[in-house]
Structures are given as C-alpha cells and as structure tokens.
Amino acid sequence: MATVETTAARPARTARRRPPAGVLAAVTWLAVVLLAALLLPLLPGFDPLHGDFSAPSAPPGPGHWLGTDAGGRDVLQRTVAGARASFAVAGLTVAVGLLGGGVLGLAAGWFRGPVDKAIGFATDLLMSVPTLILVMIAVSLRGPSLTVIGALIGLFTVPAFTRVVRAVVLALGERGFVQAARMIGTAPLRILRREVVPHVAPAALTFAFTATTVAIVAEGSLSFLGFGLRPPQPSWGGIIAEGRTTLGSAPWISLAPAAVLCLTVLALNYLGEHLRSPSRKATVNR
Amino acid sequence: MTSPFLGFAARAGRAAAVLLLVAVTALALPHLMPGSPAVAALGVTATPEQITAFEAGLGLDRNVLAATFDWIGAALHGDLGHSLANGAAVTTELANRIPVTLELFVAAQLVALAVAVPVALVSAWRPGGVVDRIATAGAFLWLAVPGFVLGLLLIWLTAVQLRLLPATGWVPFTEDPVENLRHLLLPALTLGLPEAAVFTRTLRGQLLDTLDQTHVAAARSRGMGAARLLLRRALRPSSLPLVTLIGIGIGTSLGGSVLVESLFAVPGVGTLASGAINGRDFPVIQAVMVVSAVGVVLATLAVDLLYRTLDPRIAHGHR
C-alpha cells in the first residue's frame, strides 16, 4: 500500500500540457482505490469496525498507516470500506442518470416541439428544488440505504444528462448522414439505434465522470451531515465528520480520508476534462 | 416589440407552475412517511381526538391539492403554520433566519468575485502566461475539494492551528459588527472559494471571446491602455455568464448553506432545515422548501431582467 502515498502526490503535479502522464496518474489512482475497495475487504483481518483499544487516536505509523480513530479503529481500513459505499452510490447514480437522461434527451432532441418543451419543464422543475435537502428528507423518512441515496442523487443528475444528450441529438439532426437515413425511409428506431446513439454515447459517458464526482461529493456531504449511512458503518463523509471533534489532537482521522476523497474527485475531473478537450473531440467525431 | 413581454409572461407562468408543484410535493411529504406521522409525533398514548387535531393541522385529513391551496392561502396572509417541535410560528422563525443566510450568501459572492475578477482579468490579458497557467491549474485542483472538506481545512488552519478566528458560532451584526464579521469570515470563505474557481474559469473564457471582438480591437488600436480597456470595454459584456452563475447560485446555495451553516453552527435557514428534517418537523420543512423555491424562481426572473439591462440587444430580440 506504499504506492498510495507516491501516486497521491502525482495528480497534483500533472501539467496540463502533458496529458498522457496526467491521465496515467489519474487512472492509476482510481485503479488503486477501486481495487482496494474491491479486494482488501476479502483479506483476513480486515475489519473496519474492530477497535484496537490499546491504541486509540494513534498517529499514522507502522501497523496503522493512516493512524487510528478515537475508538482505535484503523483509518486506512475505514477509508477503504468507505470507498465501497461511495462507489456503490456513484454507480447507482450514474446508472439512473444515464438511463433517465439518455431516454429523455433522445426524446427531446428527436421529437422537438411539444415533447421537448414538456421535458424541458420537467427538468427545470427538478432543478429548482434544493437537491441536498430533498435527499435529506427522503433519508429521514425512509431510512438511510445506499439504494435510496444513490437513486435520488441519480434522479437529480437526470436534467444535466438530458441536456448533454439533447444537445448532441439536436446537432445530429442537421447532419447529412441522419437526414440521408431519414430520406431513404429507414425506420426511426433504427436510425436512433444505428446513427444517433453511437454519437451520443461518448458525450454521455464523458458526463458520467462528472456525475460520479457529484455523487461522491453528495454522498460525502450527506454522511457528513448525519444523513448518510449510520455510524459505525464507514463512508467517506461519515469518517471525516467523526474526526471533526479531534481536529486539534488527531487531525489525521478527518484529513486522511478527506485527502483520498479529494484525490479521487480530482482524478475523475481530470479524466472527464481530458475526454472533453477539443483536441480529443476532433478525433472522436471524425 | 410585444414579443419580449410575452416571453416574460410565459416565463412567469412557468415559474408559477413550478412553485405550485413544489408546494404540492411539500404538502405530500407527511404521506410518504411510513406509519402515522401523528403517532410518531404525539406518541402511542395519544387520544384519537389529539390525533385528529394533529392531522387536521398538517392537512392530512384532506386531499393533497386541497391542503396545498389552504396552505398557500394562509401563506399569502403571512401564516406558515407552527413548528411541531416548539410551537413557534414558522413565519417568525424564518424571518429571524433568512437575513443570516442572505448575509452569508452575499459575503460568499463578494469573496468569489474579489478572487475571480482580478485573476480572470490578468489571465485573459495574457492567455498562456504565468498567472493564467497557475490560475487554471489552481482552479482545477480547487474544484476537487468539496465544501465540507474545505470548511474543515479552514477550521483546522485558522481556528485550531493559528487560533485566529472563532471556529463556530454566530453574533448578529446589530449586536457587535466586528464579531459578526469575524464569525462570518470562515463560512463565507468556505462557501465563496469553490465558487471563485468556477467564476474565474467562466469569466476568463468570456473575456477571451470579448477581447477578440472588433470594438475591443478598435479601442486597442486607438491606443487605449490595458487596464482601461479591460475594465471599461471588456468586463461589462463579459459579465453576463457571471450573472447567471450567481443567479443559479441562489438556488443551489441553500443546499450549500445547510452544510456550511451546520459546520460552523450558523443559525440560518440551513440549520433550521436540517434540524427540522431531523425532527420531522413538517410545517418547518414545508415552509423552507416553498420559500427556497420562491427564492430560486425570483432569482431566475431577476437574472432575466438583469440580462436585458446588461445587454440591450436581448430585449430587442437581436440575440
């Protein structure tokens, strides 16, 4: 796990002029976090809930690489377990957002007119309610489950996905190959499937990176406010919140998971930005 | 000439429809709770009369639409109901807390603008220069830090390590202006600094576009100095997206202020909302939801009007 520390510093240093190195660093970091979240819990002795009472609030060192929290629980193990919660929520968010936004965006861009207007109204409505508050209400009424949190955050990413997809579909409608397909009488569904969806997918998937960071930050915020998974079940926001009271004496309890969260968001943002950048877009669209 | 006014009327109608739907959703919330809200609030020893009175108070005895219209009718007379937790009038509670949240919001916008405008001006004047590259990379890094982490870092740095500022709490401006500002600074930075990154990126991009345009090139060729050119010719036409961002910010700021206010124990609408949600205090939740939606809608309309002032071409349908 020593590699965590070296890769941790790398994304921060990436210069924008050298995308391959930055991309490599971002992908490496995400792979390390994801693999750790998937594989480490399978190891014997992995128990983020187990408290070592002989070493409460121990600073980072051998034995506990990121230190222990006030209950003597290993901060690294809790951070890894928190990654599972964050990525589970993010996966659900992206699935809901892609599906909802994909269907609505395709419909709005394809049919235009009243359908477009109606969908525009629905997404406007969704955007005019404060997201965090609504998810908090739902969690307080229905209980904190990964499914409720992920699905609701996903619902609130639907307007953005819809906009992204709709814009691409509208632009495609003007392009020769779509009009040609229409003119030779290709069935609309076939045009959508064969000509439109393949062109929409890159933009939508690129936005999925953004949606993932939105979900990670939102889940963190919710847990931080006490509306996420119940402690002692670890989640990034929850662990960071737990360390608040000991910020003076044991800052690593909050700051270590906070650093992991920020680096993960940074890596995802960087990859999203790289995929969106004009130089790449030109090659993708050709 | 009538079309802009018609357009505005259509927007207002849409806004009213959005508000109505938010109100219906808010009034429907108690129905979404598993079990009986009345029993949850009054306890199992409640008499049937108490339960009936309680349900009538929340409008649970009528259908949601009827309850919504009753609620709106009362709200228009300034009556937003009474808190289930302490029986206080919700209107009074909101009137006490809205100024705090607004003060925080305005301070955060000032922080964001104070950072973003100078940085964006210098960046756009020499794109690719040292300032531009540092600012671009810095903004990108900055965007990866969520609000609650930033707030925690600020507390750790200024309150725990340097002992410069109070970590939490609030003193009203009318009581002690200096203490008010000391307590305001950290929450305002936490809310404003992430926005500064977004503002900088947006304003820089827009300034680059504006500086390419002929009227700016003409002024430049007449020998207008850099500072004068940027401030007098380029800044105003480039500020439109910022107006939109601030307008949208009013909508999203309530979510952000829930976080920041509870992190710094600021007695604003955000802490009122999270407390009410925790205690399932439906009248307070409903009022906060609808009032914040009204805020979003008014902000959107205001942005629309400001656009027409900042860029007269919009009002005349040339854009």
Q: Degrees (nearest 5) of the Cα angle B97, A138, B279?
A: 50
3-state percent breakdown (helix, strand, coil) of chain B, nearest 5: 80, 0, 20
Q: Grade residue A5 by pLDDT with cuts at 50, 70 and 90.
A: very low
Chain-chain contact of A217 with B33 (C-beta, under 8 angstroms):
no
User: Chain centroid to CA A171: how far?
Assistant: 27
Residue among A136, A247, A273 minimizing CB distance to B277: A136
The mean pLDDT of B108-125, rounded to a whole number, is 91
pLDDT for B317: 55
* Contacts (Cβ under 8 Å, ≥6 apart) of B169: B183, B264, B265
C-alpha–C-alpha distance, residues A192 and A103, integer Å? 11
The domain ranges of chain B are: 4-76, 94-315
- Nearest Cα residue to A157 out of A240, A82, A107, A217: A217
A260 touches chain B (CB under 8 A): no
Q: Which two tokens stand for residue B159?
A: 């309150």
How high is the mean pLDDT of chain B?
83
A129 touches chain B (CB under 8 A): yes
Contact A189, A110 (CB under 8 A): no
Chain-chain contact of B277 with A140 (C-beta, under 8 angstroms):
yes
Residues from chain B contacting residue A141 (CB–CB below 8 Å): 29, 32-34, 280
B284 touches chain A (CB under 8 A): no
Output the CA–CA distances (angstroms, integers) from residue B26 to A59, B94, B96, B129, B283, in the order listed.
47, 16, 22, 51, 9
pLDDT digits (tens, 9 = 90+) for B184-210: 888 999 999 888 988 998 899 888 888
C-alpha–C-alpha distance, residues B212 and B276, integer Å? 52
Residue A65, pLDDT above cutoff 70 = yes
pLDDT digits (tens, 9 = 90+) for B220-260: 788 777 777 787 778 887 888 888 888 877 766 776 788 89
ipTM above 0.90, yes or no: no
How high is the mean pLDDT of chain A?
82
Chain-chain contact of B274 with A265 (C-beta, under 8 angstroms):
no
pLDDT for B314: 63
The residues pairing with B213 across neighbouring beta strands, listed in sequence order, are none
Which CATH number is B94-315's, of 1.10.3720.10, 1.20.58.1290, 3.40.50.800, 1.10.420.10?
1.10.3720.10
- Nearest Cα residue to B132 out of A266, A262, A13, A16: A16
Which range, of A130-144, A149-163, A184-198, B159-173, averages the lowest pLDDT?
Answer: B159-173
Q: Degrees (nearest 5) of the Cα angle A161, B300, B9?
A: 110
For chain A, how many residues are written?
Answer: 286
Residue B150, pLDDT above cutoff 60 = yes
Full-model pTM: 0.82
pLDDT digits (tens, 9 = 90+) for A73-105: 888 888 888 898 899 999 999 999 999 999 999
Chain-chain contact of A224 with B145 (C-beta, under 8 angstroms):
no
Output the CA–CA distances (angstroms, integers) from residue A224 to A159, A228, A230, B197, B218, in the order listed.
25, 7, 11, 23, 53
